[in-house]
Every structure is written in C-alpha cells, then in structure tokens.
Amino acid sequence: MFEKEDWWAVWLGLGLVIIAILLWSAGNSIKPIAVSVPEWSDFSTVSAHLGEKIGSYVLLFLVFLAIFSLAVKILGHQLSQFIPGFTFVFVMSVIISVFGAWDIAVKYNLEAPLVALGVGMIISNTLTIPKWLETALRTEFYVKVGIVLLGATLPFTLIVQAGPLAFGQATLIAVTTFLTIYWAGTRLFGLDRRFAATLGAGGSICGVSASIAIGGAVKAEKQHVSVSISLVVVWAIIMIYSLPILIKIFDIPSGPAGAWIGTSEFADAAGIAAAAAINEQAIATFTLMKVVGRDMFVGIWCFILALISITKWEKREDGTKPDAKEIWYRFPKFVIGFFIASALVTLVITSVDTESAKAITDSVIKPLKTLRTWAFIFCFFAIGLTTRFKELTAVGWRPFAAFTTGVLVNVPLGYILSVLVFGSYWMSVQ
C-alpha cells in the first residue's frame, strides 16, 4: 500500500480532505493555501492580488511539494531531481493560471488546464526537456490525487443514485467500443490479438491506465503498450478541444454535455479539462460517467483478458491459471479514494444543521475544489511536456486506423445515449 502510485493518490487526497474537516471542526480552515487567481481585465488586478497573497502561494507550493516529495521518495525517485522539477511546474502553473483568469481567455473558454496543455506541448516540441524535469512530470499521479479531491465535492447520495445509470450506459459503450477496436484491429488491419486488446482497452475504459494494465495482463509487447498510450493521448487532445466546441454548436445543456464527454474522452485528465471548459455541473456528470461508470472496469477487464490470454492465446507448459486476486491488483485504487472522500464529506454534512452545512461548503468543499484545480493544472502541463509530435507520428497507420474506428463508433453512440436517450436525467444532476 506504500509502493504503488494509486495508493499514494488515495493517502494524499484523503489526507487533505481529513485535514480540511479537522480544521473546520476546530474553527479554522485550509483557505490560506486554497488560493486562486481572480478574473481580471487590467493587469494591475493581478499585481495587487499577487502582492497580497504571495504568502499563500508560497504556502501552497510548500504543502504540495512536501506531500508529493514524500510519495515520490518512497516510490524510489530522486528528490534532487523532483524538487527543482516540481518548482518549475508550479511556477509555470501560476503563470498559466494568471493567463487563464484573463477575461479574454475566459471569453474564449481558454481554461487554465487547456492552456497548460498547449504551453507544455509548445515547450516539449521546441526545446529539449532536461532529465531533472522529467521526474516531476508525474501526469497520472497528479490527476489521481485531483480525482480523489473531486470525490469530496460530490455528494455520495448523488453517486449512489447516478451509479446504476452511469454504470449501465458506460458498460454498453465500453463493451461496444472495445469489440469494435479489437475486431477492426485483428480482422481489418491484421494486428496481433494482444496489441488489439491493448488498443481496445485504451479506447474503451480509462486510457493510459487501461493500456498499461491490460497490456500487462495479456503480456503485450512494450512497444505496443507505448503505441496505445500515444494514440490515447492523440485522441484525448483532439477531444479536449473538439467536444466543447461541438457542445456549444449544438447547444447541449451542461449535464448531458458532461456525460457525453465522460463516454467520449479517453483519459481522465483530458476529460476533466474538457468538462472544466463548460462548468461545474459538466464536471459532476463527467465524473459520474467516467470514474463511476468506466474506470470501474479496469480490474474486471484485466482478469477477463488475462484469462483469455493464458487459456487461449498462450501455450503454457505449467498450466498456470489466472488468480482471481488479479482483479484487486489491477483495480484503480484512486477510485476507492474518490468514493471514501465523497462518503466522508457527505457524512459530516448530513450530521450538522443547515448553517453548519453552509460553513462546511465554504470552509471545506470550496477550498478542496481549488486544490483539485491546481492538481489538474500540474497534470495537463505535464501531459503537454511529455507529448512529442514526432513520436506520435511514428506509430504507423494500422493501429491508428483501428483506434479511430472505435472513436467513430464511441462518440456518436455516447451522444445518442447521453443527450437523446438519457438527456433529461443528466440535466437533473447538479
């Protein structure tokens, strides 16, 4: 439990939630570190804000640096590289947040996470990334911590209510998309079955994490896993920008829009960015669809595909069969943190009166939302810094064609279910 990044995302995310609740119960708050740049049109507003809140920004940096450094050190990485690397990531995130709060940027939905992604890609494709910075580009770690914090901002009762519908809709889309990519990969484009299964998992479940987990479960080649991750990143980036545009063109309400993003995006980080370009309701419905609905499949699919790989695809002399424990080993642990954070905050709110509940919202939930946003900015900037166009264009046309076939099925099906079939339900989710 202390040697896996997933578990550290749980410990750090829940730790922040528990500290926020304890401080509130003692009459204090985590507000001093939950600082964000206000919307501005005149740069003097930014100068005044930074002058007044510089101590809070320093404290925010030290808190994030301390908790991430603890995890990174125990996970076996060098702090001599991580500390300067994260310092650069944090400073750039503040600069990006200033730009994202500019009223012109707000007008064109240039949210800080989207800007962070773009800036990161420009840097990575024009400059050489130094080795000391690479240790701090822990994309999945940042987003997993952010998703645990996101759980604290969503009432658990809402998750329970939306769970069956989100899970049912996600099941239909995930199975359909996986089978489409696998069939296209093996039958139309002649890909290896393990390779096609890895591509199918990346396009139907939870992107990068699924590609890594499923690739390991079926013993896919390392190169095939890398190609799957690259294609996930390519389409995730495309969807970050295209889905919000399509949503505005078709005037889709926020609730169904977030659910559609949840079915159509290929990575949690990218989906959060696309949903954040709309509003909080879209973030909520996206999370219920993607985290509650799709990410839950990782452990189950790992076991099923490991079983198929061992009994059908591999000729094993020792007759070894997969252990049911593999479901637990492969299950994304940060999802557990998400549920616990939601249940914990909901339990506290339901145990107090109305005025106290409002105080919890102001002193606990809102500051945690701010910390969540910072974690996502770190993540998207890291995605940009690790995305190199030359590498993405080297994957070949057949894997791209197989994955794209799944996209052509996934996106329209997600629209039909999220907007046309269950649209009225998703509009009611707040």
Task: Render pLDDT for 19-68 as a digit per residue (tens, 0 to 9).
Answer: 999 999 998 889 999 999 999 999 999 999 999 999 999 999 999 999 99
Task: Render pLDDT for 170-200 as a digit per residue (tens, 0 to 9).
Answer: 889 889 999 999 999 999 998 988 899 989 9
pLDDT at 219: 77
Euclidean distance between CA atoms 230 and 216, whole angstroms? 17
Q: What is the mean pLDDT of residues 9-23?
A: 94
Q: Using the predicted structure, report yes or no on whether residue 6 has a pLDDT greater than 90.
A: no
pLDDT at 326: 61
Q: Using the predicted structure, report yes or no on whether residue 414 has a pLDDT greater than 70.
A: yes
pLDDT: is 277 or 59 the higher one?
A: 59
Q: Using the predicted structure, report yes or no on whether residue 103 has a pLDDT greater than 80.
A: yes
- Specify the residue for token string 């002058």: 51
Q: What are phi and psi of 102, to 5 degrees?
A: -65, 135
pLDDT at 330: 63
Residue 223 CB neighbours (<10 A)? 10
pLDDT at 158: 65
Q: Using the predicted structure, report yes or no on whether residue 367 has a pLDDT greater than 90.
A: yes
pLDDT at 102: 92
Mean pLDDT (the chain) is 85
- Its pTM stands at 0.78
Q: Using the predicted structure, report yes or no on whether residue 145 has a pLDDT greater than 60.
A: yes
pLDDT at 177: 92
Helix, strand, or coil here: 102? strand
pLDDT at 139: 79
Q: Using the predicted structure, report yes or no on whether residue 101 has a pLDDT greater than 80.
A: yes
Q: What residues are paired with 102 via a beta bridge?
A: 40
Q: Give residues with Cβ within 8 angstroms of 77, minimum separation 6.
A: 135
Euclidean distance between CA atoms 331 and 301, whole angstroms? 9
Task: Render pLDDT for 210-268 as a digit per residue (tens, 0 to 9).
Answer: 787 777 777 788 778 878 877 887 888 888 888 888 998 999 999 999 999 988 887 77
Return the percentage of the chain with pLDDT > 70, whole number: 89
pLDDT at 296: 66
294-297, long-range: CB < 8 A, 24+ apart? 294/170, 294/173, 294/174, 294/204, 294/205, 294/206, 294/262, 294/263, 295/205, 295/206, 295/209, 295/268, 295/332, 295/335, 296/167, 296/170, 296/335, 297/170, 297/171, 297/174, 297/205, 297/206, 297/210
Q: Using the predicted structure, report yes or no on whether residue 315 has a pLDDT greater than 80.
A: no
Instruction: Return the closest-CA partner of residue 86 out of 141, 37, 138, 145.
Output: 138
pLDDT at 153: 80
pLDDT at 299: 65
Residue 317 — pLDDT band, cuts 50, 70, 90? Answer: very low
- Specify the residue for token string 């642990």: 333
Q: What is the mean pLDDT of residues 316-341?
A: 68
* Side-chain half-sphere CA neighbours of 81 within 13 A: 15
